[in-house]
Amino acid sequence: MKPISWYLVFAMFLISIVPKVEAGFVDSDLSALSGIDRTKDIETIQKVLEMKAIKQRLENLGFTQEEINNRLSQLDDEQIHQLAIQLDELRVGGDGLGVVIALLVIVILVVILLQITGRRVIVTK
């Protein structure tokens, strides 16, 4: 009976974590324009271009700052937005929150499995 109660506690815990999601229909014109802010996206791209490693790599490839600016000015709002999103996803190291959450979930699962099986972990010096 004890393992079943632990299983139910764990199942209710997992069910309570799931966020409530609501969906609805949106016009394609509104959804395309709602998330695009050209100045913010250009600032994101400029921050990435100002990094030493990126700047050095572009110089090694033969691009000057004027060429880069000319190419960026030729892009439309949607292309600028897509580039900014892709650059945000490529950030080195990420935010680390996903790794911390994954580690906590693994630890919780191990503890629950140890409790259900009745085993104990003894650490000696």
Q: What is the pLDDT of residues 31-69, one digit of tens each?
A: 455 556 778 888 888 888 888 888 888 888 888 888 888
For the cut 70, the answer to whether the pLDDT of residue 27 exceeds it is no
Rounded average pLDDT over 87-92: 70
Instruction: Tell me what percent of the chain is helix, strand and coil, each rounded to the nearest 5.
Output: 70, 0, 30
Start-to-end CA distance of the chain, whole Å, equals 35
When pLDDT is cut at 50, 70 and 90, the band that residue 125 belongs to is: confident
Hey, where are the domains in the chain?
A: 29-117
- The percentage of the chain sitting over the pLDDT mark of 90, rounded to a whole number, equals 0
Q: What is the pLDDT of residue 30?
A: 45
In angstroms, what is the C-alpha Rg of the chain?
Answer: 25
Q: What is the pLDDT of residue 34?
A: 54
Q: How far apart are CA 114 and CA 117, in angstroms?
A: 5
